[in-house]
Amino acid sequence: METSVAADSIRIFDTTLRDGEQCPGATLNGDEKLAIARQLARLGVDVIEAGFAYASPGDFAAVQTIAAAVGTEDGPVVCSLARAIKADIEAAAAAIKPAARGRIHTFISTSDIHLEYQLRKSRAEVLTIAEDMVALARSLCPDVEFSAMDATRTEPEYLYQVLERAIAAGATTVNIPDTVGYSTPEEFGALIRGIRENVPNIDQAIISVHGHNDLGLAVANFLEAVKNGARQLEVAVNGIGERAGNTALEEVVMALHVRRQFFNPYLGRPADSTAPLTRIDTQQLYKTSRLVSNLTGMLVQPNKAIVGANAFAHESGIHQDGILKNRLTYEIMDAQSIGLTSNEIVLGKHSGRHAFRTRLQELGFELDEQELNRAFLRFKELADKKKDITDWDLEAIANEELQAPTEVSFRLERVQVSCGDHEIPTATVTLRLPNGQEVTDAATGTGPVDAIYKAINRVAQVSNRLTEFSVQSVTAGIDAIGEVTIRLEHQGRTYSGHAANTDIVVASAQAYTNALNRLYGVQSRRSSISSEGSEVPVSAG
Ligand code: KIV
Ligand code: ZN
């Protein structure tokens, strides 16, 4: 059971698929959620919060699928969020059932401001609800987490009472969320210490923390919480999530990894112990970050700690000089420790399928036979255009294959543009429509990309507004692979699309088609849901 966790290690609870997915435009379909869940399992997270089962039939199905596919005996615990409401808790219990180890995570607000204005309930009423709903959850699942929402703005004495009652009713983990990202490290550490000292039955539960980054303090808050007794950290990959996001998984994990000798004594270990503090395979961090960024369309800023493009780049002459003499002069961690490969030439035009497969396996990509065949074709095409193929090219090819959209309603068959300083940019596109018909049309625009998007719109006839367009180069050199990420808006919702190609005009057309497929998929699911029943709009930050 959950309480058997070693007191001297930190468990990582990943909420990328629940809290992370709530940020605008990060909406993922079921297949994409499953791909991320599989990668989170490879990364070694202890718990995957797979979604909010009661929120919609789609969310329920996603939690259930992840529970069945990833929640194996030696896989992570699979968890569903549930408000402290009977129907939510029952839906969560049903959705996690296929997992070998499932968890119900139920929550209710405890701060006076939430009680007065949002819940319109007294402190006594909330105490009873928390107790009753934890007891219900515990009757359905042996692993129950209780969260006191807005804990950092809750009067501590009242928080202690709620936690004591929740633990007595069967909570095996109690979570302390800094829901509005208001706390400072010293305060947060003191709050965790206060809980340890004042909740009489706290030894029967694990203390967890959950944080939002509104003041940029989320990671610092968590590290103070660890020093004061927190043993579960709730995080999201690339720090995505509500408003300024959740505490970034890669940052807090690498802080504990790189500075473990500083943290060891707080976990009762000898200071010089080299044993890892978490179960995370840090070499999977970069790959996980790229997958989440590509599928959610949430770009990673270049100077982002750990996984940003510049995180291991040294620009200043003095730094470069030092690095050449001894890397430790300016580097506190090795790029390989997060799984960043070098950009050396590994394959070329004449490399065969066997060499291609072997290198992909060495890079940690598990492609099935069909994916491998398609990836090999892409590799051959690329090798015709680009003499030397590096690990970064191979990663881009494998990622494109693994992240290829499974819901393809519109297929881009052909794109052609003509542009130049004396030309009116004109694009001709051929799309295969959801009914199988191939349609070609052309349009002019202010530039080649604008012309392509106008031509696609003429064919697809799906109204939308392009809100973001970004091109990044994955690899170096004039023949580099370029990645395009776009976001578009339709009826107040944001959809993202991503594609990579040596030709950024083609990548732009493909990224736009991918986003339209997402939009179309959500629209068709919604119309089938509204004809079958209601979609309940619930979410929690
Ligand atoms: O931020 C928050 O309080 C939450 C809870 C549901 C844990 O996300
Ligand atoms: Zn949250």
Which 3-state string (H, E, C) describes 454-491?
A: HHHHHHHCCCCEEEEEEEEECCCCCCCCEEEEEEEEEC
CA–CA gap between residue 468 and residue 486 (Å, rounded): 5
CA–CA gap between residue 498 and residue 473 (Å, rounded): 13
Ligand 1 close to Cβ of residue 57 (< 6 A): no
Ligand 1 close to Cβ of residue 177 (< 6 A): yes
**What ligand has the least distance to the C-alpha of 540?**
1
Minimum mean pLDDT among 134-143, 274-283, 292-301, 466-475: which range? 466-475
CA–CA gap between residue 213 and residue 505 (Å, rounded): 36
With a cut of 80, say whether residue 93 has pLDDT above it: yes
What is the CA(469)–ligand 2 centre distance, in A? 28
With a cut of 70, say whether residue 181 has pLDDT above it: yes
**What ligand has the least distance to the C-alpha of 179?**
1
- Listed ranges 83-92, 307-316, 416-425; the one with the highest mean pLDDT: 83-92
As a whole number, mean pLDDT of residues 40-68 equals 97
Q: Which residues of 292-319 are buried (b: 16+ CB within 10 A; e: fewer)?
A: bbbbbbbbbeeebebbeeebeebeeeee
Ligand 1: which atom is nearest the Cα of residue 81? 6
Ligand 1 close to Cβ of residue 13 (< 6 A): no
Give the HSE-up count for residue 5: Cα atoms under 13 Å, Cβ half-sphere: 27
pLDDT of residue 525: 62
pLDDT of residue 1: 42
Alpha carbon 470 to chain centroid, angstroms: 20
Phi, psi of 206 (to 5 degrees): -90, 140
Q: Where are the beta strands (DSSP E) in 162-270?
A: 173-178, 206-211, 232-235
Partners of 49 in the β-ladder: 79
Is residue 221 within 8 A of residue 188, CB to CB? The reply is: yes
For tokens 């399992």, what's the residue?
41
Partners of 146 in the β-ladder: 106, 174
Minimum mean pLDDT among 311-325, 362-376, 381-395, 506-520: which range? 311-325
Identity (one letter) of the amino acid at 6? A
Q: What six digits make up the tokens of 347?
A: 């394959």
Ligand 1 close to Cβ of residue 149 (< 6 A): yes
pLDDT band at 538 (very low <50, low <70, confident <90, very high): low
Dihedral of the alpha carbons of 254, 257, 263, 268, in degrees to the nearest 10: 140
As a whole number, mean pLDDT of residues 156-168 equals 98
Q: Which residues of 19-38 are buried (b: 16+ CB within 10 A; e: fewer)?
A: bbbbbebbbbbbbbbbbbbb
Minimum mean pLDDT among 9-18, 279-288, 406-415, 421-430: which range? 406-415
pLDDT of residue 533: 38
pLDDT of residue 4: 41
Minimum mean pLDDT among 123-137, 418-432, 467-481: which range? 467-481
pLDDT of residue 330: 80
pLDDT of residue 428: 97
Closest residue CA from atom 1 of ligand 1: 179
Q: Where are the beta strands (DSSP E) in 356-478?
A: 388-390, 411-418, 426-432, 438-444, 465-473
Ligand 1: which atom is nearest the Cα of residue 242? 1
As a whole number, mean pLDDT of residues 173-196 equals 98
Architecture of the structural domain at 11-296? Alpha-Beta Barrel (3.20)
Ligand 1 close to Cβ of residue 540 (< 6 A): yes
What is the CA(286)–ligand 2 centre distance, in A? 23
Nearest to 125 by CA among 101, 104, 108: 108
Ligand 1: which atom is nearest the Cα of residue 149? 3
Ligand 1: which atom is nearest the Cα of residue 212? 1
Phi, psi of 505 (to 5 degrees): -70, -45
pLDDT band at 106 (very low <50, low <70, confident <90, very high): very high
pLDDT of residue 399: 82
With a cut of 80, say whether residue 86 has pLDDT above it: yes
CA–CA gap between residue 345 and residue 357 (Å, rounded): 16
Query: How many helical (H) and strand (E) elements, i.e. helices and strands, does the chain have?
Result: 17, 16
Apex CA 197: angle with CA 195 and CA 199, to 5°? Answer: 55
pLDDT band at 427 (very low <50, low <70, confident <90, very high): very high
Parse the chain into domains and list their residue ranges. 11-296, 353-403, 411-529
Which residues are CB-neighbours of 297 under 8 A, at least 6 positions away? Answer: 25, 26, 485, 486, 487, 495, 496, 497, 498, 515
Q: What is the CATH number of domain 411-529?
A: 3.30.160.270
Which residues are CB-neighbours of 111 under 8 A, at least 6 positions away? Answer: 149, 150, 151, 153, 154
As a whole number, mean pLDDT of residues 98-120 equals 97
pTM of the full predicted structure?
Answer: 0.88
What is the CA(110)–ligand 1 centre distance, in A? 12
